[in-house]
Amino acid sequence: MSLNLSRDERTKMVARWFDLIVDGYPAETARFLREQSDPFANPVGAGLREELAPILDWIVDGGDGAAVESALDRIVRIRALQDMSPSQAVSFVLILKDVHEEIAADTTAGAKGKFDSRVDGALLIAFDVFSRCRQQVYDIRVKEVRNRSLKVMERLNSWREERAGGPSTT
């Protein structure tokens, strides 16, 4: 089930969407995110620049869920770590509703309702991604602590066994 949004409308929407997300950051940061075009010097800006269009296309045209999840992952993975509340981290998906209202030519209630409901779908995927990223941060932390002590324990055990079965006792 496809929504009716022209290429031109989509381009405008992505640009506006990008601006709104970037303006959520402090002014100095927003300027940097907007102006630095090198993807390795500005991975946050590059992620937004490259992934917003495919996310919007998925919302409008539907299609491969795994692909949109991967696009959302690239953005949410970063926001899951920044100084944001969980709602702030995924709210960038929601503001697309306002962007649509502002730019789309078809302003009928039907078109709006359909679009908004697809945005809700994307928001839920973003929430899944966010939860997964947070879980991964906790797992990584636990793993680091565990690995550190595990190695010591392994060696202690090995020495203990060696001592217990060493030449003097056999």
Partner 1 sequence: MSEKSPQELIQIDLNPPRKKWMDPSVDFESRRGTWSYPGGVKSIEYMGFANPREWSPTDEDWKLPENWQQIIHDGFKERLGKYRSLRVFMETCVRCGACADKCHFFIGSGDPKNMPVLRSELLRSIYRNDFTLAGKILGAFAGGRKLTLDVLKEWFYYFFQCTECRRCSVYCPYGIDTAEVTMMARELMMLVGVNINWICEPVANCHRTGNHLGIQPHTFKDNIEFLCEELEDDLGITVNPVINKKGAEVLFIIPSADYFADPGTYTFIGYLMLFQQIGLDYTMSAYASEGGNFGLFTSHDTIKKLNYKIYHEAKRLGVKWIIGGECGHMWRVMHQYMDTMNGPTDFLEVPRSPITGTVFENARSTKMVHICEFTADLIRNKKIKLDPSRNDKYRVTFHDSCNPSRALGLFEEPRYILKNVCNNFFEMPENTIREHTFCCAGGAGLGNDENMEMRLRGGLPRGNALKHVRDAHDVNLMSCICAIDRATLPPLAEYWAPGVEISGVHELVANALVMDGETERTKNLRGESLKAETEETTDV
Q: Rounded distance, CA 32 to CA 52, Å?
A: 18
Among 83, 109, 110, 168, binds partner 1 (CB under 8 A): 83
**Distance of closest approach, residue 74 Cβ to partner 1, in angstroms:** 9
Residue 41 corresponds to which amino acid? A
Binding pattern to partner 1, positions 110-149, x when CB under 8 A? --------------------------xx--xx-xxx-xx-
Q: How far is CA 72 from the centre of its chain?
A: 5
Residue 83 and residue 26 in contact, taking contact as beta carbons nearer than 8 Å: no
Q: Is 109 in the site for partner 1 (CB under 8 A)?
A: no
Q: Which stretch binds partner 1 (CB under 8 A): 8-16, 62-70, 89-97, 104-112?
A: 89-97
Binding pattern to partner 1, positions 21-40, x when CB under 8 A? x--xxxxxx--xx--x-xxx
Residue 90 and residue 130 in contact, taking contact as beta carbons nearer than 8 Å: yes
Q: What is the DSSP letter of 24?
A: T
Q: Which stretch binds partner 1 (CB under 8 A): 2-10, 49-57, 62-70, 88-96?
A: 88-96
Residue 3 corresponds to which amino acid? L
Among 41, 67, 105, 124, binds partner 1 (CB under 8 A): 41
Cα–Cα distances (Å) from 109 to 48, 77, 153, in that order, read 29, 34, 65
